[in-house]
Amino acid sequence: MTEDSQQPATPAKGGVVTSVEQLLRKRGMYEIYLDHGEEAALTVHEDILVRYKLLKGTVLSAAAVDDILQAGERHQAYTLALAYLGVKARTSMEIERYLRRREVAEERIAPVVERLIREQLVDDEDYARRFAGDRMRLQQKGSRRIQQELIQRGVAKTVAAAAVEGLDSEQEQQGAIRAAAKKWPYLKGEQRDRKRKLMMFLLRRGYPHPIVRQAIAAVLEEDNMAEEGQMLDN
């Protein structure tokens, strides 16, 4: 993990700020030099620089240096989470898993997630509702499959269940019929085998049994009507 404050190999040591230099290769980052060494004692983000008033001549105790280092780690973890959220909406658990993959210290993760929730940047209930609606409308997935996917993304079971319960049952039925109608022409074998294959297909997509039965009945009715029409044409 890249730190907003560079942790020294030795314990934090106080001193007087002798120089503050902006890093050209890292936007918003500054090196802080103290009077006890030629190398930068701290590398901090500009937010940390302003918060702690790190100006030339500022006297820092060892405790203050340690506090700045800790603040830098928290800021970096928060920045990583914001970048991850910038791609698309995430659940709180997805944020936690991502920060662990980035080797953020475990004690930093929960405070970052709590801050994102306070700032309304992470909202599992809103995420679940939007996710459920999109999956049903755009991918023609059933409520059971959607609920499983939400839980896999770290949404609490009660929240996932509530999101699924809020879905339009008629919309789910129509989605199942469309999925079945699209799949039916590609199934091979006798009608009994085709029906069995279609049932398994719809169940795998997460549609409940009653909706599956109605979808299959609708497809068979449409198929029979098409066959009768062909016979009349001939």
pLDDT confidence of 12, banded at 50, 70, 90? confident
Could you give the 3-state DSSP secondary structure of residue 150?
helix
Q: Which residue has the higher pLDDT, 233 or 73?
A: 73
- 């989605």: which residue's tokens? 175
Cα radius of gyration rounded to whole Å, the chain: 29
Strands (E) located in the chain = 15-22, 29-34, 42-45, 59-60
Fold of 169-228: Arc Repressor Mutant, subunit A (1.10.10)
Establish how many alpha carbons lie within 13 A of residue 47's alpha carbon, considering only the half-sphere containing its beta carbon. Answer: 11
CATH 1.10.10.10 positions along the chain are: 15-86
Q: What is the pLDDT of residues 51-61, one digit of tens each?
A: 999 999 999 99
How close are the terminal C-alpha atoms of the chain, in Å? 73
pLDDT band of residue 172 (cuts 50, 70, 90) is very high
Average pLDDT (209-226) is 88
Chain-centre distance for alpha carbon 111? 17
What confidence tens digit (pLDDT) does each residue in 84-125 have? Answer: 999 999 999 999 999 999 999 999 999 999 999 999 999 999
Q: Does domain 123-167 sit in CATH 1.10.10?
A: yes
CATH topology of domain 15-86: Arc Repressor Mutant, subunit A (1.10.10)
Query: CA geometry: angle at 90 spanning 87 and 92, to 5°?
Result: 140
Neighbours of 64 (CB within 10 A): 16
The predicted structure's pLDDT at residue 10: 55
pLDDT at 11: 61
